[in-house]
Amino acid sequence: MLASLHVKNLALIDEEEIVFSNGLNILSGETGAGKSIILGALHLSLGDKASKDFLRDTDCEAFVEAVYLVKDEKTKEALRELGVEPYDDEVIMSRKITESRSVGKINGEQVPAAKLKEVGDILLDIYGQKEHQSLLNVHKHMEFLDEFAKKDIGDLKLQVSNSYKKYKELIAKLDEAKKSDVSKDREIILLDHEINEIETANLKIGEDEALEDEYKRLSNYSRTTEYFQKAHEAMVGENGASDAISAAISDLRYIEGIDEKASELLAMLNDADSIISDFNRELSGYMEDSTFDSARFNEVELRLNEINRLKDKYGHTIEDILEELKKRQEKKAQFERFDEYLAELKGQVTEATKELEDLSKKLSDIRHKNAAVLSEKMRQAMSDLNFLNTEFDMELKVLDHFTENGVDEGQFVICTNPGEPLRALKDIASGGEMSRIMLALKTVLASDGGIDTLIFDEIDAGISGRTAQAVSEKLSTVAKGHQVICITHLPQIAAMADTHFLIEKSVENGHTISGIKKLMGEEPVNELARMLGGSAITEAVITNAKEMKEMALSYKNKS
């Protein structure tokens, strides 16, 4: 259940904390008092899009925190599957919003908005003012049925979905294979040519890099030889480095015995002389051995051209070319045993089709069985909501093709006048009726366990009189097994409250703020009187409010 909601610096709210109770929690107040802000704050804690426009004071952050009590083991297990562990049976979901960003957390750990929504879907069900419009979408009807039948379905829908994907992949492979069957002889000829072309080249990994280095050296032979010769002359030519160092060594030997520094410098020059001698020998040897082989140059150039041609055709590297060779060899082998391959593929398609048929049939049987139960429960729930002599059913038909969701297609059908045929719900029901039908559906789905908290935002739209009373009684009945939070304008519904909150606006320091308080003692009766009589609250209105509260209490005690 939703234990509390803390809201700070959001729209008209400065800072408020609401502590909810078990049973039926009613939120009422004048139009524009801020009831929708409370629901909006809850949506924010569940990952809805945040905007800086929500900030009451743009210099401060907005903050929303919802605390849930979770004692049901199945709910705890569902949360653990999402990586959320209740601490002391609590799950705390929060959101901080600034002008530039928002941060969501679950039990103090930062999470993305999508994770907040996933967890929220397990903990509570919010019925918004326009949600009944989803009944106009026929595809949603199957989702409602599957939600009702989820215990029987288990992971069967996932199995059907996976089986369907495998089936589609095999069908695509078979279609491609049938196309290839027509052109396989031509394909084999082409593959033979390409395989022979690559194999004949006898490529070796790293060969291209070595050849490119050799080509660069040979193509620049004249230039490098010229500069090697210049370097050699600079060392051993007249007045070259070797002569200069020899002269310096001779000069320093005259004063070696006189100045210790001369000895140190002489040692350094001897080292340099040794290094230069080694350099001269290495350079001379290289120049003697280095010749330009025009035949080799042409051979390297031709080989590089061949490799680059294959790269242009098959890949950027020799590794890529060899990988393409492997693929073509495998494809050729497949073509050479094509009849066997085609037979294997057809067998796999047959097996996949049988598997998908069996799983879809199993899912369809579960749906048909549960559709009958759902329809019966819906007829009873709608009767409780003042739908008199109304027939309700779910029309299911089997498709002539597979889908990711099985082979079923269905929709809700209804008849509100005895003797008339059942017709599509979207073609019959009015907006007010849709709202009550959705309430009936929500209560039926909730009665099967699972979500502990149901929130209804103005479920009373478009109803009055006996119908309003019926809705209030249904909400009270549902609240015996679930926590229900309801925003309402109708006194008939507010009278059923187990806990009643009033939301009202006031002006403080020139600013309008919304506040919320739990009504105690006679305050609920006074609020009912306001809802009944508006600005003129007479003794008669107060008496009427007391009677309405007493009648509600009597109904709850009897039911």
Asked if 48 and 499 count as a contact pair (C-beta separation under 8 A), the reply is no
Separation of CA 4 from chain center: 28
With a cut of 60, say whether residue 130 has pLDDT above it: no
For range 463-477, the mean pLDDT? 86
DSSP H or E stretch at residue 448: none
User: What does the pLDDT average to over 62-85?
Assistant: 88
453 in helix, strand or coil? strand
Place of tokens 């320091």: 509
**Which pLDDT belongs to residue 535?**
67
Q: Strand pairing partners for 7?
A: 16, 64
274-297 in b/e form (b: 16+ CB < 10 A) is eebeebbeebeeeeeeeeeeeeeb
- Report the mean per-residue pLDDT for the chain: 86
Q: Where does the pLDDT of residue 6 fall: very low under 50, low under 70, confident under 90, or very high at 90 and above?
A: very high
Read off φ and ψ for residue 452, nearest 5 degrees: -90, -30
Tokens for 491, please give them: 């006194």
Q: Which of 446, 495, 431, 502 is nearest to 468 (CA)?
A: 495
Query: What are the tokens at 227?
Result: 């500069």
Q: How far is CA 445 from CA 147, 307, 433, 438, 450, in A?
A: 7, 69, 18, 10, 9
> Which is more confidently placed, 117 or 229?
117
How far is 186 from 192, CA to CA, in rounded Å?
10
Q: Hunting for tokens 């559906």 — which residue is that? A: 441
Extended beta strands in 82-195, E state: 90-97, 102-106, 109-111, 124-127
Residue 354 is predicted with a pLDDT of 97
Q: Which of 416, 454, 464, 408 is nearest to 437 (CA)?
A: 416
Closest CA to 552 of 473, 440, 460: 473
- For residue 62, what are the contacts with CB-CB under 8 A and spacing of at least 6? 8, 9, 10, 54, 55, 56, 96, 97, 98
Q: What is the mean pLDDT of residues 206-221?
A: 84
Q: Tokens at residue 138, please?
A: 């026929």
Structure tokens at 173: 């492979």
Query: Quick one: pLDDT at residue 457?
Result: 80
pLDDT value at residue 327: 93
User: Residue 11 carries which DSSP code?
Assistant: T
Copy the structure tokens of residue 102.
């928002």
The whole-number pLDDT of residue 325 equals: 94
Statement: residue 129 has pLDDT above 60: no
Indicate the helix (H) or strand (E) that contains 83: none
Number of Cα atoms under 13 Å in the Cβ half of residue 254: 4
Whether the pLDDT of residue 57 is over 80: the answer is no
Amino acid letter, residue 531: M
Burial of 479 per CB tally in 10 Å (0-12, 13-18, 19+):
buried
pLDDT at residue 318 above 90?
Answer: yes
Render pLDDT for 372-420 as a digit per residue (tens, 0 to 9): 999 999 999 888 888 888 899 999 999 999 999 999 999 999 988 777 8
491-519 tens-digit pLDDT: 999 999 999 999 888 877 777 788 889 99
pLDDT of 131: 60
Backbone φ and ψ of 64, nearest 5°: -130, 130
Q: What's the Cα-to-Cα distance from 401 to each of 173, 209, 360, 369, rounded to whole Å?
A: 19, 57, 11, 21
- Top pLDDT among 447 and 80 is at 80
Task: State the pLDDT confidence band at 314, using cuts at 50, 70 and 90.
Answer: very high
Q: Say if residues 205 and 319 touch (Cβ distance below 8 Å).
A: yes
**Alpha carbon distances (Å) from 29 to 410, 475, 501, 503, 534:** 41, 19, 9, 5, 11
Q: Is the pLDDT of residue 210 over 70?
A: yes
Q: How far apart are CA 352 and CA 41, in angstroms?
A: 48
Q: Is 60 exceeded by the pLDDT of residue 483?
A: yes
Helix ranges (DSSP H) in 255-293: 260-289
259: phi then psi, degrees, rounded to nearest 5: -125, 125
Q: Hey, what are 214's tokens? A: 């050799």
Q: pLDDT tens, 136-156?
A: 778 889 989 998 998 999 999
Q: Which of 557, 530, 546, 357 is nearest to 476 (CA)?
A: 557
Cβ atoms of residues 455 and 463 within 8 Å: no
pLDDT at 203: 92
Residue 520 has pLDDT above 90, yes or no: yes
The percentage of the chain sitting over the pLDDT mark of 70, rounded to a whole number, equals 95
| pLDDT tens sequence across 257-276 | 787 788 888 888 888 888 88
% helix / strand / coil in the chain, to the nearest 5? 60, 20, 20
What pLDDT sits at residue 326? 94
Q: With 80 as the cut, is the pLDDT of residue 342 above it?
A: yes
Candidates 127, 144, 128; CA nearest to 425 is 144
Q: What are the backbone angles phi and psi of residue 368, rounded to the nearest 5°?
A: -65, -40
